[in-house]
Amino acid sequence: MTQKVAVLGTGKIGEALLSGMIRGGWAPSDLLVTARRRERAEQLHARYGVEAVSNAEAAKSADTLILTVKPQDMGTLLTELAPHVPTNRLVISGAAGIPTSYFEERLAAGTPVVRVMTNTPALVDEAMSVISAGTHATGAHLTRAEEIFSGVGKTLRVPESQQDACTALSGSGPAYFYFLVEAMTDAGILLGLPRDKAHDLIVQAAIGAAVMLRDSGEHPVKLRENVTSPAGTTINAIRELENHGVRAALIAALEAARDRSRELASGNG
């Protein structure tokens, strides 16, 4: 891994990506970072041994630029970068909702752009990073993006037209599980359990169920049926979930998240 990579606007996700790359074998000498505040840049240098530079310096010297600033700050960053980004630079965007065409219009003609939607489990190396190619990005560019983001979890290639759906399922997905755990913990308290015990029970059930889904190869219906005895406790709970329209509510919620992602991509924020 001899190519230089720069992480621009290194916040929590950017730092998680940086640390994941180092654990994955990238040399700190091949990594650059930029940060808005000088203290933050110095902190990253002290913590990881990477060089902190300006955005312009990163654009001039790195082979790959990973833009991790907030979506509302992306236009300003691109205005600063555009004079310094040659067409052989790979630009990876981690900004939710912004299409590759936005970058292609603001950078030199022919600049390869890859769009990546990751999620907050990147902080514990369990992210799902969804990768899409822009007009000028090749298979080699997608492979480079996968090499970078595999340090913080799994990667998946999709056409860019599917990014909004992936944002609804995966980008926002952790929040749905936190919401579910919150509701189930409250139910445990209602049933007479202390909050800490209810929390521990639900979290471990979620971890165990997720591992079984990942490792068993079984369809979730099959795994659910294995827990559901005739006339037992689980089927009574499932009946109530169906009576209250939980399945329909989840579908409607994900459709709403997808539609909002489309609105943000079109600039109707």
| pLDDT tens column, 141-191 | 999 999 999 999 999 999 999 999 999 999 999 999 999 999 999 999 999
Residue 34 CA: distances (Å) to CA of 22, 39, 50, 112: 17, 11, 10, 21
What residue spans of 24-135 are helical by DSSP H?
38-48, 55-61, 74-81, 100-106
Q: How large is the average pLDDT for residues 131-141? A: 97
Q: Tell me what pLDDT residue 267 has.
A: 67
Whether 269 shows a pLDDT value over 70: the answer reads no
Q: Tell me the pLDDT of the chain averaged across its residues.
A: 94
Q: Tell me what pLDDT residue 1 has.
A: 47
Residue 115 confidence class, pLDDT cut points 50, 70, 90: very high
Q: Tell me what pLDDT residue 3 has.
A: 87
Whether 213 shows a pLDDT value over 50: the answer reads yes
Residue 2 confidence class, pLDDT cut points 50, 70, 90: low
The alpha carbons of the chain give a radius of gyration, in whole angstroms, of 21
Q: How large is the average pLDDT for residues 36-64? A: 94
SS3 for 212? Answer: helix
Q: Tell me what pLDDT residue 135 has.
A: 97
Q: Tell me what pLDDT residue 261 has.
A: 86
Q: How large is the average pLDDT for residues 42-55? A: 95
Judge contact between 118 and 92, C-beta under 8 A.
no
Give the N- to C-terminal CA distance of the chain in Å, as an integer: 39
Going through the chain in order, the beta strands assigned E by DSSP cover: 5-8, 31-34, 51-52, 64-67, 90-93, 113-117, 127-133, 153-157
